[in-house]
Structure 1
Amino acid sequence: MLPTILDLSSLRAAYQSGLTPLDAIEEVIARRAASKDPAIFITPVPDEQLRAAAKALMARAPEANSLPLWGVPFAVKDNIDAAGLPTTAACPAYEYRPEADSTVVARLKAAGAIIIGKTNLDQFATGLNGTRSPYGAPRSVFDAAYISGGSSSGSAVTVASGLAAFALGTDTAGSGRVPAAFNNLVGIKPTPGLLPNTGAIPACKSVDCITIFAATVSDGVAIRKVAEGFDAADPFSRRAKPANLPVSGLRIGVLADAEREFFGDKEVEALYDQAIERARALGATIVPFDYAPFREAAALLYDGPWVAERLAAVETFLATNAADFDPTVRGIIEGAKGKTAVEAFNGRYRLEELRRKTEAEWETADVLLLPTAPTTYTVADMLANPVVLNGRLGRYTNFVNLLDCAAIAVPAGFGKGGVPGGVTVIAPAFTDDALAPLADALHRAASSGMGIDRQAAIPEASPVVPGDDGLVPIVVVGAHLTGMPLNHELTRPGGRRIKSCRTAPDYRLFVLPDTVPPKPGLIREPGFDGKGLEVEVWKVTAEAFGRFVQNIPAPLGIGKVTLDDGSQISGFLCEAHAIEGAREITELGGWRAYVTDQRIPK
Structure 2
Amino acid sequence: MTIQTLRQAYQSGALTPRALVAELKAKMALHVNNPIWIYTLNDAELEPHLKRLEGAKIEELPLYGIPFAIKDNIDLAGIPTTAACPDFAYVPERSAYVVERLIEAGAIPMGKTNLDQFATGLVGTRSPYGICQNSINPEYISGGSSAGSAVSVALELVTFSLGTDTAGSGRVPAAFNNLIGVKPTKGVFSTSGVVPACRSLDCVSLFTKTCADAQTLFAIMASFDSEDVYARMIPTQTKTLEKPLRIGIPRKSDLQFFGDAEAQTLFEAAVARFIKVGAVVEEIDFTPFLKAANLLYSGPWVAERYVATKALLQKSPESFLEVTRTIIAQGEHKSASDYFEAEYALKAYRREAEQCLKWVDFMLTPTTGTIYTIDEVENNPIELNTNLGYYTNFMNLLDLSALALPAGERGNGLPFGITIFADAFEDTKLLSMGEIYMKELPCQK
TM over 0.5: yes
Q: Matched residue of 1:319: which SS?
A: helix
* Residue 298 (structure 1) aligned with residue 293 (structure 2): yes
Mean Cα displacement is larger for which, 327-336 or 358-367?
Answer: 358-367
Q: Counterpart in 1 of 2:31?
A: 35
Q: Counterpart in 2 of 1:486?
A: none
Matches of 2:61 and 2:73, distance apart in 1: 27
Partner amino acid, structure 2, of 1:110: E
Q: Counterpart in 2 of 1:182?
A: 176
Partner amino acid, structure 1, of 2:31: S
Change (3 A) 1:72 1:297: same
Of residues 131, 148, 157, the one that matches 1:154 is 148
8 Å Cα contact 1:37/1:138 also seen in 2: no
Of residues 90, 103, 111, the one that matches 2:105 is 111
Q: Counterpart in 2 of 1:312?
A: 307
Q: Show CA shifts across 1:454-497 (max 9, x none).
A: xxx6xxxxxxxxxxxxxxxxxxxxxxxxxxxxxxxxxxxxxxxx
Q: Which has the higher contact order (CA 8 A, sep 6+)?
A: 2
Partner amino acid, structure 1, of 2:333: G
Within 5 A, what are the aligned runs for 1:53-72?
53-59=49-55, 61=56, 63-72=57-66
Of residues 339, 362, 384, the one that matches 1:344 is 339
* 1:48 Cα deviation after fit: 4.2
Q: Counterpart in 1 of 2:128?
A: 134
* Residue 47 (structure 1) aligned with residue 43 (structure 2): yes
Q: Matched residue of 1:399: which SS?
A: coil
Partner amino acid, structure 2, of 1:442: Y
Of residues 278, 285, 288, the one that matches 1:283 is 278
Q: Counterpart in 2 of 1:83?
A: 77
Q: Counterpart in 1 of 2:22?
A: 26
Q: Show CA shifts across 1:83-138 (max 9, x none).
A: 01100000000000000011000010000000000000000000000000000111
Q: Matched residue of 1:143: which SS?
A: coil
Q: Counterpart in 2 of 1:120?
A: 114
Q: Counterpart in 2 of 1:445?
A: 440
Partner amino acid, structure 2, of 1:223: L
Of residues 412, 424, 430, the one that matches 2:419 is 424
* Residue 167 (structure 1) aligned with residue 161 (structure 2): yes
Matches of 2:60 and 2:139, distance apart in 1: 42
Q: Matched residue of 2:186: which SS?
A: coil
* 1:72 Cα deviation after fit: 0.3
Mean Cα displacement is larger for which, 240-249 or 318-327?
Answer: 240-249
Q: Counterpart in 2 of 1:240?
A: 234
Matches of 1:257 and 1:408, distance apart in 2: 22
* 1:68 Cα deviation after fit: 0.8
* Residue 433 (structure 1) aligned with residue 428 (structure 2): yes
Matches of 2:175 and 2:390, distance apart in 1: 14
Mean Cα displacement is larger for which, 107-116 or 49-58?
Answer: 49-58
Q: Matched residue of 2:346: which SS?
A: helix
Matches of 2:327 and 2:439, distance apart in 1: 39
Matches of 1:271 and 1:44, distance apart in 2: 37
Q: Counterpart in 2 of 1:382?
A: 377
Matches of 2:432 and 2:274, distance apart in 1: 12
Q: Matched residue of 1:25: which SS?
A: helix
* 1:200 Cα deviation after fit: 0.2
Matches of 1:440 and 1:395, distance apart in 2: 25
* 1:330 Cα deviation after fit: 0.5
* 1:56 Cα deviation after fit: 2.7
* 1:257 Cα deviation after fit: 0.9
Within 5 A, what are the aligned runs for 1:449-468?
none
Matches of 1:274 and 1:218, distance apart in 2: 23
Q: Counterpart in 2 of 1:591?
A: none
* Residue 252 (structure 1) aligned with residue 247 (structure 2): yes
Q: Matched residue of 1:257: which SS?
A: coil
Partner amino acid, structure 1, of 2:431: A
Q: Which has the higher helix share?
A: 2
Q: Matched residue of 2:342: which SS?
A: helix
8 Å Cα contact 1:188/1:221 also seen in 2: no
8 Å Cα contact 2:214/2:431 also seen in 1: no
8 Å Cα contact 1:255/1:291 also seen in 2: yes
8 Å Cα contact 1:243/1:429 also seen in 2: no
Q: Matched residue of 2:110: which SS?
A: strand
* 1:199 Cα deviation after fit: 0.3
* 1:362 Cα deviation after fit: 1.5
* 1:342 Cα deviation after fit: 0.2
* 1:37 Cα deviation after fit: 4.0
Q: CA RMSD in A?
A: 1.2
Within 5 A, what are the aligned runs for 1:470-549?
none
Matches of 1:284 and 1:248, distance apart in 2: 8
Q: Counterpart in 1 of 2:187?
A: 193
Of residues 258, 263, 267, the one that matches 2:262 is 267
Partner amino acid, structure 1, of 2:265: A
8 Å Cα contact 1:70/1:113 also seen in 2: yes
* Residue 400 (structure 1) aligned with residue 391 (structure 2): no
Partner amino acid, structure 1, of 2:135: V
Q: Which has the higher strand share?
A: 1
* 1:347 Cα deviation after fit: 0.5
* 1:51 Cα deviation after fit: 4.5
Matches of 1:235 and 1:49, distance apart in 2: 31
Q: Counterpart in 2 of 1:535?
A: none
Q: Show CA shifts across 1:177-202 (max 9, x none).
A: 00000000000111000001000001
Matches of 2:442 and 2:225, distance apart in 1: 38
Matches of 2:218 and 2:388, distance apart in 1: 25
8 Å Cα contact 1:194/1:229 also seen in 2: yes
Structure 1 length-normalised TM = 0.72
Identity of aligned residues (%): 45
Aligned residues: 443
Q: Counterpart in 2 of 1:207?
A: 201
* 1:54 Cα deviation after fit: 1.5
Structure 2: tracts of 5 or more residues without a match = none
* 1:80 Cα deviation after fit: 0.4
8 Å Cα contact 2:133/2:142 also seen in 1: yes
8 Å Cα contact 1:184/1:448 also seen in 2: no
Matches of 2:241 and 2:220, distance apart in 1: 26
Q: Counterpart in 2 of 1:471?
A: none
8 Å Cα contact 1:168/1:212 also seen in 2: yes
| Structure of higher CA gyration radius | 1
8 Å Cα contact 1:411/1:448 also seen in 2: no
Q: Counterpart in 2 of 1:461?
A: none
Matches of 1:178 and 1:316, distance apart in 2: 30
8 Å Cα contact 1:298/1:399 also seen in 2: yes
Of residues 58, 67, 70, the one that matches 1:73 is 67
Structure 2 length-normalised TM = 0.97
